[in-house]
Structure 1
């Protein structure tokens, strides 16, 4: 009894906020007893046994034991990987709808595949949702032999997948895809005008890989789909004036680099340059908006950090993944302003068609589970937003990696010199080194410094992420220096000795101490720090890690810019006072808290929007799947309907009625989203009157929503009456029914409590306080 209580207390201390898997641990001996028997059976026997497990409900205990034993043998036979007991625990954790935490290198990919097979054999359609497209395709192809032998069909989606290929992929028992890609397909399906154009079936099970990255980091930014309207325009006068403005004199920025505003001196300079206008008068509001977006592009968005210029285009960098964000751009004015800054022609202007948050996307699935290396740190967030509990899976082999204390410096330049010196010393030993940087610019600056120091390194960042697998595969080879941006979600293990699996090279790397990981700064989340560290010491290998930081790093400036007094640096600029480490940790906790508040606020505002969208979708589906549009127009425009019915086949006319009503419904929803965006921008002004912003938002949003269906019906009747028949059929475009020729997603900074309006209010309040003094 005492031993059991002691074990439970130790679990609570070591794995806070996690659930027990004791009942599954008890099944491991029974699974092991099936191993010898299954090993002697043929592939056909194993496939037959899997078919016999197919059911329309959950596995019984006996079926669960048989499935895990089958999965172990199938993975050994097809991949040469015998699943460890802890991996089978992970499979059972996913089948019981938990987020399982497994250390890097413990075989999460196989665990996810076996769990997906288990859900599929229980008669459910499964989506394995990853953090990027590369992992989705890689994992589906890598695990295909396991799926094939168990009789489970598998597919994947990525940006290059055609419409027909998407339908086929989603028709499989298991479909792999990035969260953005699946979300984008949901948004596209919401806009189809023919039922057979939809690619997604009813969602059933989601298994989320890198669950903390997808469910927490990605969830702060909604997926927003836009459609092309016409070519973007730029205020060329403003585009020429803003680059001449100077920080501190003409404009200011906040500590976290998310807002910029003109000073009185800056406003005066701009007004004079624009011919003596008053920016803050109603007549100058459009020019002020143009100045604001140009200033944002000039002051807050940095080339090679926030975006690349490649092939004559501005390509956004997804900072949480360290990759180029395909088919993604900023909202129009900002996108055009960045293109003007880089002297590129403006891309098409867009109109927001629809949006969905990660929470709403995941909420579509009745069954959700996930896996990651760092879940305990966000256990409360997963519980609050997704009602998911964390199950910690112990490593198969104890972790012997040595994590050194952070080294903290007074300035970034002193820190960089120390990083180069450290890399040089470790490299002289022949030990493989992985350096994690914050962005593209930093990775390239460090590579340049290393080259000047006579060291050769390989760089992995958004410029060359296509070669990711090859670069990471060689990162564990003795003597190799790999410099990479964001390692979280890259999903590829670094094997000691390199890709060739040369035993001598592996032994050499082990004897040198294994992979040595260096972080050039602490990340905005301790989880990202841990994911970088976790690249070393996989499956009991030796390894080491150290993080460098400076008191002028972006994290410190954003989280806690007021440095404690009395911190003294040595001749090299290093600060060894424990207060510096406490200050750094405090700054990181502040930023983590701010990001969680962004997440919470996004959800508060979008929850109502999602409910409204679901109500409208129910009506839209009725229009899409029935003849309700024809019935409406027969009742409201009988004469015109009869005229067209004489000249057109019944189904053709029914589809024309459908398309007209769907066009107006979709247009009204887009207008509603634009209205809500305007409300959000001004909601803080209402807060001055001591109204609660969220209540004011609801008060404005609900009556407007209730107008949509009736107004869409009126517009449908009017458009139908104006529709002309030509030799080519019905001229819908001539009647104004024009759908976008292309779509893309927007990257938005969606924090309702940190808008430009709120920042302006802070400035006003600050000015008033100064005047009172």
Structure 2
């Protein structure tokens, strides 16, 4: 082993994979390349099939197939990524290094080994683009491929999932699973048994969005919030009538605020029988004080659209829990969106956990190596770039105030633009991007803005971002899926400017990685200030530079090492909070997932067999015999099956509602008693879950005993077997400490005690 490789093994980071064995396979594949060039297409496909147990043969055949079908010869490093994915790891590959092709070759390899593969992307656009782009490669290798989007019909979904490789947004796979869980006939099911999940943007999906609940709801009418509460809290004054905590995660009325609300509504706000008013006021207050337009959401086409915190774009189908969603709609004077009873839900982490084989690819994985190992048993293969990176990453430029920072950013953009250098500016949210855009307009700098308000045009905007003189302002670049290629005459490369550090260093790296792709020249620099939200929220008590603070030059720039350390410290605290949030929320959802799994196993047995009829025959033998004598045994067994499935689904929906109320109540009770809310939650949730199956069977038996029949069949309508008239799916913008309205309620407890004392 060469000294360089020995040194790399010694310095290898925990959780990362040794690339040595893969490099040997790639070298062997290179030796076989001339032979592959001489094969006919059919012979090449046969070589790929023969490579099921020979990775070098598979890589050699895949490389030649890509050259013929796509006009692209995979680099050695792309084959390293392919082998890492075939081995069930997360491949960390920098932006522009060809993850899409590496993933397709790996998917084909899994498929040729007899495993069905689901490649999960972050949106419809990427799912369709990649499936169509890689389609010729799959066809040449004899592998079938399909894709699923939000508008796909059940038959289209079933056909796509039946292919060897199916591309789909992770949310659509989850929604299809939820709908399958309510199927009353096996023919309605669209998803096959899970085998291989290959996750694009793996860190974003598996960590940032791991605890996001995907929800299937049934219609129960509109959940409009009373606009009176929105109008009332709008008149309240911050610091006088209500206060927020340092992290802006909670808001609560002051004593003066409570008196003002009571005067306006003419109620005793804390009377036991007015809990509904108390809840409504505080949910409205949360919507008014903690959720900000163009930061947490935008208003488009007369509706509230949430913004994904990890991607800076509109989160399709995403909404807050119904009470808070309605409160924000009332705040914006919009029509209320429909609400309904939650019939079932699943987190992204639980969805991915169903697959026996999991792998993924992203540009930034090492920062979450611990979480990928803990929650998914995944290690990371750090794939080197095809060409050495020559991007120059400057130290942060730190300023005393946000105003000084913004002036410096404009000056830096002007200087780069004057030299003809393209500039990509990353902002933290929509509001910041639009504020910067107005400053650029005043400075006479032509530019384009890519944020959640125009993300439909993102591919075209990004494609032009590397042209000479281009200035592009974007709210995050994670998951954009499009490379920035340099235009003619751009000798210094793309300059990436960050207008502040994100709450995660991975997001910084994703922005920075847009420059210097494939060995291109480029540079990056982040502008920060001691007034940035990251610092004031996560390090509010730290005071660098003593009582007077750190010294700044005439432009407000700070060189003090302690002040620079503080920004990094705040980011590390934020990352630690996110890890704890993930771990804490997982503990809640874990028990729910176990209970659902147990009930689903029995439900599936009833769905596919004669278990329901046998159960009713055992519990109500004489009535079963009587009905069978009239309508026939098959009709009676079918009625028993539909009856039992109905009550299993009803009991589960009721159980979910109970757990939501329990989780909220547990927080309120444990806050005063000093108890661990998760322990208390499990203490009550576990026994309740154990009663689910028996309760559903008892209810089904009671209804079965009342059934009547004719020669035409069993009359199920008489027992009120009525499922929701319509269903829909959405993503809940959940929070690790409970839903947002739960936190608003928790904040009131201290106030109530204060008044009672």
Between stretches 554-563 and 729-738, larger displacement belongs to 729-738
The 1-side partners of 2:241 and 2:724 are apart by 43
Between stretches 457-466 and 734-743, larger displacement belongs to 734-743
Matched, 1:624 2:624: no
Superposed displacement of residue 228, structure 1: 2.2
The 2-side partners of 1:659 and 1:549 are apart by 61
Contact 1:331 1:746 (8 Å CA) reproduced: no
Counterpart secondary structure, 1:600: helix
The 2-side partners of 1:757 and 1:297 are apart by 13
Matched, 1:747 2:729: no
Matched, 1:555 2:534: yes
Contact 2:226 2:330 (8 Å CA) reproduced: no
Counterpart secondary structure, 1:427: helix
Name the CA shift for 1:653/1:64 in 2 (closer, same or farther; >3 Å).
same
2:199 aligned partner? 208
The 1-side partners of 2:351 and 2:363 are apart by 23
Counterpart secondary structure, 1:435: strand
Superposed displacement of residue 691, structure 1: 4.0
Contact 1:724 1:735 (8 Å CA) reproduced: no
Matched, 1:177 2:161: no
The 2-side partners of 1:690 and 1:298 are apart by 30
1:521 corresponds, among 475, 497, 500, to 500
Contact 2:496 2:524 (8 Å CA) reproduced: yes
Matched, 1:398 2:388: yes
Contact 1:212 1:375 (8 Å CA) reproduced: yes
The 2-side partners of 1:570 and 1:448 are apart by 27
1:419 aligned partner? 409
Superposed displacement of residue 590, structure 1: 0.4
1:266-415 matched pairs, under 5 angstroms: 266-275=257-266, 277-415=267-405
1:194 corresponds, among 168, 185, 203, to 185
1:162 corresponds, among 153, 165, 170, to 153
**Could you list the per-position Cα deviations for residues 114-163 of structure 1 after superposition, in whole angstroms to 9, with x for gaps in the alignment?**
00001111110111122222222211111111111000011111211111
The 1-side partners of 2:714 and 2:288 are apart by 50
1:674 corresponds, among 657, 675, 696, to 657
Contact 2:48 2:62 (8 Å CA) reproduced: no
Counterpart secondary structure, 1:590: helix
2:22 corresponds, among 9, 16, 24, to 24
Counterpart secondary structure, 1:737: coil
**Could you list the per-position Cα deviations for residues 717-740 of structure 1 after superposition, in whole angstroms to 9, with x for gaps in the alignment?**
344456688999956497152225
The 2-side partners of 1:109 and 1:133 are apart by 15
The 2-side partners of 1:729 and 1:658 are apart by 12
The 2-side partners of 1:96 and 1:373 are apart by 18
The 2-side partners of 1:432 and 1:96 are apart by 39
2:139 corresponds, among 148, 151, 161, to 148
The 2-side partners of 1:733 and 1:95 are apart by 55
Counterpart secondary structure, 1:219: coil
Contact 1:329 1:744 (8 Å CA) reproduced: no
Superposed displacement of residue 644, structure 1: 6.1
The 1-side partners of 2:631 and 2:458 are apart by 56
2:80 aligned partner? 89
Name the CA shift for 1:124/1:341 in 2 (closer, same or farther; >3 Å).
same
1:500 aligned partner? none
Counterpart secondary structure, 2:306: strand
Normalising by structure 1, what TM-score? 0.92
2:592 corresponds, among 609, 613, 631, to 609
Contact 2:230 2:288 (8 Å CA) reproduced: no
Contact 2:16 2:381 (8 Å CA) reproduced: yes
Name the CA shift for 1:690/1:484 in 2 (closer, same or farther; >3 Å).
closer
The 1-side partners of 2:312 and 2:533 are apart by 17
Name the CA shift for 1:293/1:758 in 2 (closer, same or farther; >3 Å).
closer
Name the CA shift for 1:762/1:287 in 2 (closer, same or farther; >3 Å).
closer
Contact 1:94 1:115 (8 Å CA) reproduced: yes
Contact 2:253 2:748 (8 Å CA) reproduced: no
The 2-side partners of 1:757 and 1:304 are apart by 24
The 2-side partners of 1:420 and 1:668 are apart by 59
Counterpart secondary structure, 2:496: strand
Counterpart secondary structure, 2:210: helix
1:571 aligned partner? 554
**Could you list the per-position Cα deviations for residues 667-712 of structure 1 after superposition, in whole angstroms to 9, with x for gaps in the alignment?**
2112112222222223242365454333222210111112111211
Matched, 1:477 2:467: yes
Counterpart secondary structure, 1:268: helix
- Give the paired residue count: 751
Matched, 1:39 2:18: no
Superposed displacement of residue 635, structure 1: 4.8
Contact 1:623 1:658 (8 Å CA) reproduced: yes
Contact 2:663 2:738 (8 Å CA) reproduced: no
Contact 2:250 2:744 (8 Å CA) reproduced: yes
Superposed displacement of residue 195, structure 1: 1.0
Between stretches 415-424 and 242-251, larger displacement belongs to 415-424
Contact 1:237 1:274 (8 Å CA) reproduced: no
1:223 corresponds, among 209, 214, 224, to 214
Between stretches 453-462 and 120-129, larger displacement belongs to 453-462
Name the CA shift for 1:76/1:721 in 2 (closer, same or farther; >3 Å).
same
**Could you list the per-position Cα deviations for residues 363-382 of structure 1 after superposition, in whole angstroms to 9, with x for gaps in the alignment?**
21111111111111111111
Contact 1:222 1:750 (8 Å CA) reproduced: no
Contact 1:135 1:491 (8 Å CA) reproduced: yes
**Could you list the per-position Cα deviations for residues 413-471 of structure 1 after superposition, in whole angstroms to 9, with x for gaps in the alignment?**
33222212211111111111111111222222222221221112122122222222111
Between stretches 451-460 and 68-77, larger displacement belongs to 451-460
Contact 2:427 2:473 (8 Å CA) reproduced: yes
Counterpart secondary structure, 2:682: helix
**Could you list the per-position Cα deviations for residues 260-312 of structure 1 after superposition, in whole angstroms to 9, with x for gaps in the alignment?**
1111111111111111x222221121101111111111111112222222222
The 1-side partners of 2:552 and 2:335 are apart by 49
**Could you list the per-position Cα deviations for residues 629-671 of structure 1 after superposition, in whole angstroms to 9, with x for gaps in the alignment?**
3334445556766776577576555444323322221121121
Superposed displacement of residue 567, structure 1: 1.6
Between stretches 26-35 and 231-240, larger displacement belongs to 231-240
2:563 aligned partner? 580
The 2-side partners of 1:686 and 1:348 are apart by 33
The 1-side partners of 2:365 and 2:409 are apart by 30
Name the CA shift for 1:582/1:709 in 2 (closer, same or farther; >3 Å).
same
Superposed displacement of residue 253, structure 1: 1.5
Contact 1:308 1:316 (8 Å CA) reproduced: yes
Superposed displacement of residue 589, structure 1: 0.4
Superposed displacement of residue 212, structure 1: 0.8
1:545 corresponds, among 517, 524, 537, to 524
1:692 corresponds, among 676, 690, 693, to 676
Name the CA shift for 1:650/1:262 in 2 (closer, same or farther; >3 Å).
same
The 2-side partners of 1:353 and 1:691 are apart by 30
Counterpart secondary structure, 1:561: coil
Name the CA shift for 1:693/1:402 in 2 (closer, same or farther; >3 Å).
same
Name the CA shift for 1:236/1:760 in 2 (closer, same or farther; >3 Å).
closer
The 1-side partners of 2:571 and 2:147 are apart by 37
The 2-side partners of 1:382 and 1:251 are apart by 40
1:246 aligned partner? 237
Q: What is the aligned-residue RMSD (CA, Å)? A: 2.7
Matched, 1:489 2:479: yes
Contact 2:409 2:499 (8 Å CA) reproduced: yes
Contact 2:734 2:740 (8 Å CA) reproduced: no
Contact 1:163 1:199 (8 Å CA) reproduced: yes
The 1-side partners of 2:369 and 2:244 are apart by 34
